């Protein structure tokens, strides 16, 4: 999974912790720079979206790519609601196991995790999808093909074998 330390490049001559690199790159040019101090009582929770660890701003709709090495968050859009304080990013204890489980999903867009999901939920979701795929393929092998509707022409064609499998994989959701 993509982490902040990979996403926000560092300056080798002036290395900074990840959360501070974001300030260096994205601080609004019209606002005098002030290094955040202390922690706000608000928290934000690391989650995975399309293969990236992200932390959402608790005050506005902004977000950053998060990193477990530096669990501090500061929003360069609302300046953490103008408070000048860091917000703590809460990471799951088993984030490495979550990464390993999500890495088993072929598509980046299927690599998603929210804090209310357990590792077991993720495994069930992957195995359930695999089983659903097997069930559907078995069913269409019995029926002789997958009926596919062409939305433009309104024609229905019957896909068989490899074409049907490819169409099913294309249609997979998250």
Q: Binding mask 17-56 vs Zn ion (x if CB under 5 A, - otherwise)?
A: ----------------------------------------
Q: Which stretch binds Zn ion (CB under 5 A): 24-32, 72-80, 91-99, 116-124?
A: 72-80
Candidate list 34, 60, 158, 166; residue touching Zn ion; CB under 5 A: 60
Residue 78 in contact with Zn ion, rule: CB under 5 A: yes
Residue 75 in contact with Zn ion, rule: CB under 5 A: yes
DSSP string, the chain: -B-HHHHS---TTS---HHHHHHHHH--TTS------SEEEEEEE-EEETTEEEEE-SSSS-EEE--TT--EE--TTTHHHHT--EEEEE--TTHHHHHHHHTTSS-GGG--B-TT--HHHHHHHHHHHHHHHHHHHHHHHHHTSEEEE-TTT--EEEE-HHHHHHHHHHT---
Closest contact distance (angstroms) between CB of 90 and Zn ion is: 17
Residue 73 in contact with Zn ion, rule: CB under 5 A: no
Chain residues in the site for Zn ion (CB under 5 A): 57, 59-60, 62, 75, 77-78
């Amino acid at each position: 999974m993509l982490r902040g330390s990979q996403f926000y490049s560092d300056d080798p001559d002036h290395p900074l912790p990840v959360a501070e690199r974001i300030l260096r790159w994205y601080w609004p040019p019209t606002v005098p720079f002030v290094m955040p101090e202390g922690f706000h009582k608000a928290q934000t929770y690391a989650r995975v979206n399309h293969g990236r660890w992200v932390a959402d701003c608790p005050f506005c709709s902004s977000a950053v790519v998060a990193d477990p090495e530096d669990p501090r968050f500061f929003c360069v859009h609302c300046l953490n609601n103008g408070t000048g304080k860091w917000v703590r990013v809460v990471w799951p204890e088993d984030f490495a196991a979550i990464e390993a489980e999500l890495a088993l999903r072929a598509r980046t867009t299927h690599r998603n995790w929210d804090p209310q999901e357990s590792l077991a939920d993720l495994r069930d979701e992957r195995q359930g999808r695999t089983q659903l795929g097997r069930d559907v393929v078995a069913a269409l092998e019995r029926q002789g093909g997958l009926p596919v509707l062409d939305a433009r022409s309104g024609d229905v064609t019957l896909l068989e074998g490899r074409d049907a499998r490819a169409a099913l994989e294309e249609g997979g959701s998250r």
